[in-house]
Amino acid sequence: MIEWLALAAAILFNTLGNFFIKRFSVATEVRGVLDYLSPSFVLGLAFFGLNLVLYARALTGIPLALAYPILVGSTVAGVAGIAAFWFGEQLGVAHLLGLALVTAGIALLAGTT
């Protein structure tokens, strides 16, 4: 059970890492290496690091062939939601259909345990 909670938290932190890196990218004109010390970029890296730690924990009890597609697919869905809501990115019909297929694939994989 703890492995599934770790995977859920890894998905959340992976999604947040993407959010903060995107936030940094749209708000910062990088002129030098020190610009990467921006709080948004550092937070993004921290969330990616937490993701890796929790994902490693999840893999102690969840097969890789199951955990990785769930991690990636769920992150794709979460990032798409954030992109539309927070950054105003447009999600067309094809994009939404693709997200539905990813979600269906995750459900099928999760049902194999």
Digit-coded pLDDT (tens) for 1-39: 999 999 999 999 999 999 999 999 999 999 999 999 999
**Global confidence as pTM:** 0.89
Is the pLDDT at 110 greater than 80? The verdict is no
Res 49: pLDDT: 98
The runs of H, that is alpha helices, within 1-113 are 2-27, 39-58, 64-85, 93-110
Res 48: pLDDT: 98
Supply angle C-alpha 53, 54, 58, rounded to 5: 125
Mean model confidence pLDDT for the chain: 93
Find the length of the chain.
Answer: 113
Residues 6+ apart with CB under 8 A from 1: none
Res 85: pLDDT: 94
